[in-house]
């Protein structure tokens, strides 16, 4: 929201992060983030994954996060995972995804080690989910839907050279003023 409050005339802002340089720019009524992708490696589906998610994935892909692919989007939408069991699986975030009906893919991202057990719309997860589905569906741009209770639509476009563009709307969740003592 820097573009809305502090850099109102700017079309783009850049950040330096532990993931390298990240940018956010206006793309019509959407915001476009340029993020790194991660190497994705298929790993065996385990009984532990099935118990943790409450349903058995058909594929498991490990990148920075564990990305479990399910047979259809209704399974993903209906998951009630066991958060303690999720924490025992590999990965930083535990993503569930499936090919969608209205969207190219549907997903949910679980983050039980944070104060928000399910991320409403997870950009970093879609660096992997979008890249995966673009390859599987042989599409340049993936229209994704994160089916959390709040939900949100993203457009994921792998750019090559280990980068991906994520476009979507931003939701303002708080406005605050930080006052430091003099």
CB neighbours of residue 160 within 10 Å = 7
- 60 falls within a domain: yes
pLDDT attached to residue 129? 98
Q: What local confidence, expressed as pLDDT, does residue 180 receive?
A: 82
Whether residue 34 lies inside any domain: the answer is: yes
> pLDDT in tens for each of the 182 residues of the chain?
565 666 667 677 787 877 677 778 888 888 889 888 999 999 999 999 999 999 999 999 999 999 999 999 999 999 999 999 999 999 999 999 999 999 999 999 999 988 889 999 999 999 999 999 999 999 999 999 999 999 999 999 999 999 999 999 887 777 778 888 87
E-strand stretches of the chain: 12-17, 20-27, 30-36, 41-43, 59-62, 66-69, 94-99, 105-110, 118-119, 142-146, 152-160, 163-168
Residue 86 inside a domain? The answer is yes
Full domain range(s) for residue 131:
2-168
Q: Is residue 16 part of a domain?
A: yes
Inside any domain, residue 180: no
pLDDT at 19: 66
Q: Given this model, what pLDDT does residue 24 score?
A: 80
Residue 173 maps to a domain: no
pLDDT value, residue 159: 96
Residue 176 belongs to a domain? no
CATH of the domain at 51: 3.10.310.10
Q: Are the C-beta atoms of 15 and 22 separated by less than 8 Å? A: yes
Per-residue confidence (pLDDT) for residue 4, from 0 to 100: 62
Q: Is 121 exposed, middle or buried (0-12, 13-18, 19+ CB in 10 A)?
A: buried
| Residue 44, domain member (yes or no) | yes
Q: Find all residues with CB under 8 Å of 2, minimum gap 6, and list them.
A: 13, 24
Counted domains in the chain:
1
Pair 165, 37: CB distance under 8 Å? no
What is the per-residue pLDDT for 20? 72
């Amino acid at each position: 929201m820097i573009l809305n409050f502090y850099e109102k005339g700017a079309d783009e802002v850049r950040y330096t992060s532990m993931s390298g340089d990240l940018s956010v720019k206006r793309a019509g009524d959407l915001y476009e983030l340029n993020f790194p992708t991660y190497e994705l490696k298929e790993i065996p589906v385990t009984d532990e994954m099935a118990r943790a998610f409450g349903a058995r994935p058909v594929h498991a892909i490990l990148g920075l996060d564990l990305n479990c692919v399910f047979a259809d989007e209704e399974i993903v939408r209906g998951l009630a995972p066991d958060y303690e069991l999720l924490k025992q699986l590999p990965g930083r975030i535990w993503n569930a995804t499936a090919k969608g009906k209205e969207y190219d893919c549907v997903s949910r991202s679980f983050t039980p080690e944070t104060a928000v057990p399910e991320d409403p719309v997870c950009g970093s997860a879609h660096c992997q989910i979008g890249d995966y589905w673009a390859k599987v569906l042989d599409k340049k741009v993936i229209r994704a839907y994160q089916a959390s209770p709040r939900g949100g639509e993203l457009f994921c476009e792998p750019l090559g050279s280990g980068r991906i563009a994520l476009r979507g709307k931003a939701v303002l969740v708080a406005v605050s003023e930080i006052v430091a003592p003099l």
